[in-house]
Amino acid sequence: MKNQATLFLKTLALSILISTVVPRLANAQESTTVKILPQPGYYNMQIGDLPVTVLSDGTNPLDMAQLLLNAKPGELKSGFAESFLSTTVESSDNEFLIRTDGKLILVDAGSGDLLGASFGQLTKSLQNAGVQPEQIDAVLLTHLHPDHVGGLMRNGKMVFPNATIYIAKAESDFWLIPEALKNAPAAYKPFFEYAQNAALPYAKAGKLKAFKSGDVLFPGITALGSAGHTAGHTSYVIESNGDKLLILGDLIHAQAVQFADPGIAIGYDSDPKEAVSTRRRVFDDAVKGKYLVAGSHLSFPGVGHIKANGNGYLWIPVNYSTIVPK
Ligand SMILES: [Zn+2]
């Protein structure tokens, strides 16, 4: 476990370092196909009786050639080129708002101020969708990486002062116990500090609940353990009236290549081998069940279906029809 944690932190530190020095879109081929312009940052849909809004925390350029593991020679360049992309892609950070039982439930909190100015837009997107942070009743966390917890706190204040945060016990045990920070090598302490600074103020206020896989957290929302990316990584099943959406969390990062070759892992995975087998297990079930899935880092809004395709999968994004309110 300690070795895995060390490897993970080493790659995470390296990755974040690399991602911050990649020139924004300067050399990216995708600029020839679409110029990205500002968006409102939210997307409304409905799962059975439950309104679900996908929210954007923004995007950030990531050099996937530096981050992805296990790819065959030439596989990344040709895989991204197939999608009219270079290996430096503008990566989405998506969060989800679910209305159930009269409550407003958020899945993940975005980056806050931790990862640069192009991220940290969740609060703005939420307000654009007509919801104030104070109205949020619960924040369900997929895991405690900075792009998922950073937005819990800003300027020393709780961003969601009336919310209880929900974390899988395995995840809180890994990141939040005092020994975790004490035992972490000096270079990697910041990542434990990010997690603790974000979550512990809620814990101290009696607003942290731990859960285990299979727990029904709210009507229509069930936790599904999907460890590998982190020790207690959790996906969330949203079900209502025969409709189903599985919020994957970080089971996939590079849609242009990891559907076709799910054996490709990413340096952010704390246990790349387990991450790969979890991806296959969860994706196989989604293929069989034909239900919708959504990913934190699939291109916003990151919602669609998965089909089997040879040894891998095919990603079919939903038809993004737009109904303009009268
Ligand atoms: Zn992430």
% helix, strand, coil for the chain, step of 5: 35, 30, 35
pLDDT at 326 over 90: no
Enter the pTM of the model.
0.91
Chain-centroid distance, C-alpha 311? 25
pLDDT at 27 over 80: no
- Output the CA 255–ligand 1 centroid distance in Å: 13
- Domain contains 33: no
- Domain contains 264: yes
Q: Report the CATH number at residue 288.
A: 3.60.15.10
- Output the CA 135–ligand 1 centroid distance in Å: 24
- Output the CA 308–ligand 1 centroid distance in Å: 24
- Output the CA 324–ligand 1 centroid distance in Å: 31
d(C-alpha 215, C-alpha 12), whole Å: 30
- Output the CA 156–ligand 1 centroid distance in Å: 23
- Output the CA 48–ligand 1 centroid distance in Å: 27
Residues 266 and 68 sit within 8 Å (Cβ to Cβ): yes
- Output the CA 326–ligand 1 centroid distance in Å: 36
- Output the CA 279–ligand 1 centroid distance in Å: 15
User: pLDDT by residue (tens digit) across 48-60?
Assistant: 999 999 999 999 9
- Output the CA 179–ligand 1 centroid distance in Å: 24
Residues 104 and 65 sit within 8 Å (Cβ to Cβ): no
- Output the CA 129–ligand 1 centroid distance in Å: 22
- Domain contains 227: yes
- Output the CA 35–ligand 1 centroid distance in Å: 24
User: pLDDT by residue (tens digit) across 191-222?
Assistant: 999 999 999 999 999 999 999 999 999 999 99
pLDDT at 152 over 60: yes
Place of tokens 């899988």: 168
- Output the CA 195–ligand 1 centroid distance in Å: 13
- Output the CA 174–ligand 1 centroid distance in Å: 17
- Domain contains 220: yes
Looking at residue 12, its pLDDT comes to 53
Phi-psi category of residue 206: left, alpha or beta, with phi > 0 → left and psi -120 to 50 → alpha: left
> What is the pairing mode between strands 243-249 and 292-295?
parallel
- Domain contains 280: yes
- Domain contains 37: no
Residues 193 and 149 sit within 8 Å (Cβ to Cβ): no
Residues 95 and 150 sit within 8 Å (Cβ to Cβ): no
- Domain contains 34: no
- Output the CA 94–ligand 1 centroid distance in Å: 9
- Output the CA 269–ligand 1 centroid distance in Å: 10
d(C-alpha 157, C-alpha 201), whole Å: 9
- Output the CA 109–ligand 1 centroid distance in Å: 11
User: pLDDT by residue (tens digit) across 239-291?
Assistant: 999 999 999 999 999 999 999 999 999 999 999 999 999 999 999 999 999 99
Looking at residue 143, its pLDDT comes to 98
- Output the CA 325–ligand 1 centroid distance in Å: 32
Write the DSSP assignment of 52-99 as a string of letters: EEEEEEEEEEEEHHHHEESPPTTHHHHHHHHTT--SEEEEEEEEEEEE
For 218, the domain range is 2-17+42-322
- The dihedral built from the CA positions of residue 97, 98, 104 and 109, taken in this order, carries a sign that is negative
Kindly report the average pLDDT of the chain as a whole number: 91
d(C-alpha 9, C-alpha 188), whole Å: 6
Structural domain total, the chain: 1
pLDDT at 5 over 70: no
- Domain contains 36: no
